[in-house]
Amino acid sequence: MQDPLELLDIPSLLGDEERDIQATVAAYLSDHVRPHIASWFEAGILPRELAQELGKLGVLGMHLEGYGCAGTSALAYGLACLELEAVDSGIRSFVSVQGSLSMYSIWKYGSEEQKQEWLPRLAAGEAIGSFGLTEPDFGSNPSGMRTRAVRDGADWMLNGTKMWITNGGLADVATVWARTEEGVRGFLVPRGTPGFSTRDIKQKLSMRASVTSELVLEDVRLPESARLPLATSLRAPLTCLNEARFGIVFGAVGAARDSLQAALGYSGTRIQFDQPIASFQLTQRKLASMTVQLSNSMLLALHLARLKEAGTLKPEQISVGKYNNVESAIAIARESRTILGANGISLEYSPLRHANNLESVLTYEGTSDIHLLSIGHALTGIAAFR
């Protein structure tokens, strides 16, 4: 079986257009990205020119309407994320941050002038965006942020530091969230603004084919026109995060499927005791158990996509998807590695690379613990994290 999701005939649940979009993204990545991803991971790089190629493919902000965006369904976007992360979490993270954080923050909360200036360029990959919310001391509790924006005449002065920012060192514009006297507000900070600098984080063991950076703002002066006018509270960046988390729900399925496919292929050709290891009961038990986990995750992702398209998807439901699918994916990646034996630690095979990446996915955009507390809040009505 080439695709373990065929066991339950899950592809039959997709429409023709959705299948076509998924196949187009998969084919492009197979030809242009997958052959290079192991070397990019090893070198700790993500080529900037990939942005324009992904723009031509149409996946940057693909679920948004207008301004050069494709306006696809939520499910089509999810399936694209699945194929992107099947290659590497770093590729899906680039697309998620570009489309669901940077572009979405401008699309939903920006002025018409801001949309016209940035969205067409971001959709084409001619410009790259980042999203500065997390700080060195405030990850799971963004309400404690220390970055401040104060009025100075007609302008704003920003001071603070953001940490673990995907695309930070590549970005032409950063959406930066800061505390003001009126509450949390968002600002568009173009690269080259005096006082604004970035520092890429090195020596990572995870998400190596992704640029992760620190953003430093030292007396950064911005005009009022740089503020996102419709972002009036912390709810704005949290809404953006829910957009990105939706992509993770599908992306994790992609990493898990690719890991399992590697294990299936290897077990059918690796000969021990004069027979392929796929013929052994213990190996078949692993393969069967992982396929059940993968199928459950995919069915959950499809259900959440339909809820999103109906406009009824709730944050706690996204938490269920993010928690379940990432936890399942990392378990599948690790188990797949055991089937590969010693060869599994080589970059020739994907499962351990996926497992390393998923350690980051397990943490960012809400740790598993925080998502469990979100689910617990929905069940009991008690916010245990406050």
- pLDDT of 348 reads 96
Cβ–Cβ < 8 Å for 215, 200? no
Nearest to 177 by CA among 233, 225, 136: 233
Residue 337 pLDDT class (50, 70, 90 cuts): very high
Of 66, 112, 147, 98, give the one whose Cα is nearest residue 228: 112
Read off the pLDDT of residues 140-162 as tens digits, 9 standing for 90 and up: 889 899 999 999 999 999 999 99
pLDDT at 293: 98
pLDDT at 145: 95
4-124: CATH topology = Butyryl-Coa Dehydrogenase, subunit A; domain 1 (1.10.540)
Between CA 136 and CA 129 the distance in angstroms is: 20
CATH 2.40.37.10, domain 129-232, yes or no:
no
* 160, 86 Cβ separation under 8 angstroms: no
Burial class (CB in 10 A: 0-12, 13-18, 19+), 281: exposed
Distance, CA of 334 to chain centre: 20
Extents of the domains making up the chain = 4-124, 129-232, 235-380
State the Cα–Cα distance between residues 177 and 50, nearest whole angstrom. Answer: 27
**pLDDT band of 49, cuts 50, 70, 90:** very high
> Are domains 129-232 and 235-380 of this chain identical in fold?
no
Q: How far apart are CA 116 and CA 114, in angstroms?
A: 6
Catalytic site residues?
365
Average pLDDT over residues 45-50: 96
**Can you give the pLDDT at residue 190?**
98
Residue 192, number of CB atoms within 10 A of its CB: 7
Tokens of 337: 């590695």
pLDDT band at 2 (very low <50, low <70, confident <90, very high): confident
CATH 1.10.150.120 fits domain 235-380: no
> What integer pLDDT is reported at residue 257 of this predicted model?
98
Closest to 304 in 3D by CA, of 77, 72, 93, 103: 77
Tens of pLDDT along 87-121?
Answer: 999 999 999 999 999 999 999 999 999 999 999 99
Whole-model pTM over 0.85: yes
Give the confidence band of 386 by pLDDT, cuts at 50, 70, 90. confident
Tracing tokens 């245990």 back to the chain, one arrives at: 384
